[in-house]
């Protein structure tokens, strides 16, 4: 597949795909319900526990599960049927929302019980998120992926721009329990669409990884990918700073402006309106600016909005500041999301997204607690000013942790065939040791070492262990690359994870190799002497532990 132009405009192009369109519309309805529920929970907490820290914990209880469970959810989404995962998560949130509505109507809600219910809803969202975001790539072509992600942000923020105002009116007229019940009903449309969707299933050539191994592979891939590391660090920093605005918004409405539930809904609506504007403008902005420039602009928007909102006592001025904050919110988060999705191949994309969610929403959970405590001790204006300073720190951090451009990446996997072996081997056999011999002219050594540095990163990222580079003391042109995998199956997985972009590194090594033919590959299995067979050998087979030499295949 050709490389992707991530600046392709037109988010609406993704609505040409029927499955995505149906899921997007159903998600829009569910988002309305979620925002109405959020207004009900936040405003109920101001009534039953009016302290600033308890109000801020409502948002923290929703985002904390994303930090705790997203990595496991991403590993599950990469290994199991994503549609079924989303169905299970939606049904779970439906049941929890019904229970919350029932408890509220019965008058059994206490501050901590309300936090438990919002935490459980957050758990459902934590398991739904990676599966849903990774499934977008199954619904639209890769070329339409940036537009689809921007449209998802737009859909959520359309709900944010109207839903909170509706939620505020519902809470004021009928109480929080009605808001919780409406949220429960809003899950039904998405459950129906997912139940009817029949995505194309690709044949699985290798057995599934265990949960622990899959989680470790996701963490390793992110840790060995500089671009993904930069996104995770910046999204964590942004999440901590940005969380102050939504976490303290009920207190802005009540204490700074002197309003009620309807005023709170209007503030949320202004924030959502700005987010919709940011989503609509994201396509043209992405054409003109780099990912890093967009992230810095979003952080500056939030810093300005936080300072103005903290000083304002007028509804209209605060709403204007929140429009700016909403635009910054969606520009930053959609940029982080697109960058992650276009920096990770499909086999690990859900885990990469889950790590992004852990960073961003973990930062929001931490920030919600931090700014709630700050507001409790020093006031709302001081908390918002502190959050603005942190956003400015994020702008400065961009000089060291710049977001990558992903337009030139081709993350399609290479066509790699498992080599035949002269010794019978099982998938679980191991450890396996691989050596690759290169002949390098003295004049090319510096370039060879530079290319090998990137080779080491790719190998380790894809699961190789104990990678070393050796030089023969008797033959100065002979260099040997050596690494281990725990089993033969791990060796196969390792090689099947190589992308077309990674192939550039292999091509550079082949160009530097001066030997007759391709570099010689030895595939060997470690054996203790006590495990050697006591009697003869299979005719035509090598002894166990004897090198499997193949000068024609890659490693």
Is residue 520 in some structural domain? yes
Residues 437 and 390 in one domain: no
Domain at 472, CATH number: 3.30.70.100
Whether the Cβ atoms of residue 103 and residue 113 lie closer than 8 Å to each other: yes
pLDDT attached to residue 416:
82
Residues 228 and 369 in one domain: yes
Which pair of tokens denotes residue 212?
């622990």
CA distance 462 to 459: 5
Is residue 154 in some structural domain? yes
Positions of the chain with pLDDT under 50: 1-9, 534-553
pLDDT attached to residue 4:
38
Is residue 255 in some structural domain? yes
pLDDT attached to residue 299:
92
Whether the Cβ atoms of residue 259 and residue 253 lie closer than 8 Å to each other: yes
Domain at 186, CATH number: 1.20.1250.20
Residues 142 and 219 in one domain: yes
Residues 219 and 345 in one domain: yes
Number of domains making up the chain: 2
Whether the Cβ atoms of residue 430 and residue 486 lie closer than 8 Å to each other: yes
Residues 372 and 449 in one domain: no
Please say which residue of 378, 397, 416 terminates a domain.
Answer: 397
Please say which residue of 382, 397, 412 terminates a domain.
Answer: 397
Whether the Cβ atoms of residue 382 and residue 374 lie closer than 8 Å to each other: yes
Residues 219 and 86 in one domain: yes
Residue 199: DSSP 8-state: P
Helix axes 226-242, 349-378, angle to 10 degrees: 30
Residues 365 and 441 in one domain: no
Is residue 118 in some structural domain? yes
CA distance 494 to 73: 22
Convert 40-53 into a string of H (helix), E (strand) and C (coil).
HHHHHHHHHCCCHH
- From residue 290, how far is each of 5, 234, 286, 326 by CA, in Å? 13, 15, 7, 20
Residues 147 and 278 in one domain: yes
Which residues, including other chains, have CB under 8 Å from residue 87's CB and lie 6 or more apart?
A: 191, 194, 195
Please say which residue of 379, 397, 415 terminates a domain.
Answer: 397
pLDDT attached to residue 116:
93
Is residue 405 in some structural domain? no
Is residue 416 in some structural domain? no
pLDDT attached to residue 205:
66
Residues 143 and 277 in one domain: yes
Residues 94 and 43 in one domain: yes
Burial class for 147, CB neighbours closer than 10 Å (0-12, 13-18, 19+): buried
Is residue 2 in some structural domain? no
Provide the domain limits for residue 352: 11-200+210-397
pLDDT attached to residue 210:
86
Residues 354 and 503 in one domain: no
Residues 223 and 120 in one domain: yes
pLDDT attached to residue 13:
66
Is residue 409 in some structural domain? no
């Amino acid at each position: 597949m050709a490389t992707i132009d991530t600046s392709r405009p037109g988010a609406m192009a993704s609505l040409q795909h029927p499955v995505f369109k149906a899921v997007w519309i159903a998600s829009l309805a569910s988002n309305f319900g979620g925002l109405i529920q959020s207004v009900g929970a936040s405003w109920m907490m101001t009534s039953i526990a009016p302290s600033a820290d308890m109000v801020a914990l409502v948002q923290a209880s929703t985002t904390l599960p994303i930090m705790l469970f997203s990595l496991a959810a991403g590993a599950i989404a990469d290994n199991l049927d994503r549609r079924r995962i989303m169905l299970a998560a939606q049904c779970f949130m439906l049941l929890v929302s019904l229970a919350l509505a029932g408890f509220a109507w019965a008058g059994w809600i206490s501050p901590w019980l309300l936090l438990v219910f919002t935490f459980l809803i957050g758990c459902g969202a934590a398991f739904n998120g990676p599966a849903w975001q990774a499934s977008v790539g199954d619904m639209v072509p890769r070329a339409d992926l940036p537009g689809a992600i921007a449209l998802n942000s737009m859909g959520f923020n359309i709900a944010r721009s109207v839903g909170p105002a509706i939620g505020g009116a519902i809470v004021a007229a009928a109480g929080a329990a009605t808001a919780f019940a409406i949220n429960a009903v809003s899950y039904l449309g998405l459950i129906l669409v997912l139940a009817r969707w029949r995505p194309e299933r690709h044949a699985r050539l290798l057995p599934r990884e265990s949960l622990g191994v899959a989680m470790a592979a996701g963490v390793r891939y992110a840790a060995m990918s500089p671009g993904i590391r930069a996104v995770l660090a910046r999204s964590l920093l942004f999440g901590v700073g940005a969380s102050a605005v939504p976490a303290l918004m009920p207190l802005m409405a009540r204490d700074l402006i002197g309003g009620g539930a309807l005023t709170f809904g209007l503030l949320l609506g202004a924030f959502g309106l700005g987010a919709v504007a940011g989503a609509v403008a994201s396509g043209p902005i992405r054409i003109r600016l780099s990912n890093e420039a967009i992230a810095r602009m979003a952080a500056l928007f939030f810093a300005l909005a936080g300072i103005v909102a903290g000083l304002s006592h007028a509804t209209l001025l605060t709403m204007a500041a929140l429009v700016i904050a909403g635009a910054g919110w969606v520009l930053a988060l959609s940029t982080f999301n697109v960058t992650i999705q276009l920096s990770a191949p499909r086999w690990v994309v859900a885990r990469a997204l889950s790590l992004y969610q852990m960073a961003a929403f973990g930062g929001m959970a931490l920030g919600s607690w931090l700014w709630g405590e700050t507001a409790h001790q020093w006031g709302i204006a001081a908390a918002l000013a502190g959050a603005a300073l942190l956003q400015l720190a994020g702008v400065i951090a961009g000089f060291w942790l710049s977001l990558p451009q992903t337009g030139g990446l081709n993350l399609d996997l290479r066509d790699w065939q498992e080599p035949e072996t002269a010794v019978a081997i099982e998938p679980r056999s191991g450890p396996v040791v691989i050596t690759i011999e290169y002949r390098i002219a003295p004049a090319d050594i510096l370039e060879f070492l530079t290319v090998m540095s990137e080779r080491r990163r790719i190998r380790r990222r894809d699961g190789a262990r104990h990678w070393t580079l050796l030089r023969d003391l008797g033959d100065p042109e002979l260099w040997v690359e050596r690494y281990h995998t725990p089993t033969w199956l791990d060796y196969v997985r390792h090689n099947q994870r190589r992308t077309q972009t990674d192939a550039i590194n292999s091509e550079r090594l082949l160009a530097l190799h001066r030997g007759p033919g391709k570099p010689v590959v030895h595939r060997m299995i470690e054996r203790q002497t006590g495990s050697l067979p006591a009697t003869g050998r299979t005719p035509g087979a090598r002894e166990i532990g004897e090198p499997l030499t193949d000068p024609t295949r890659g490693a």
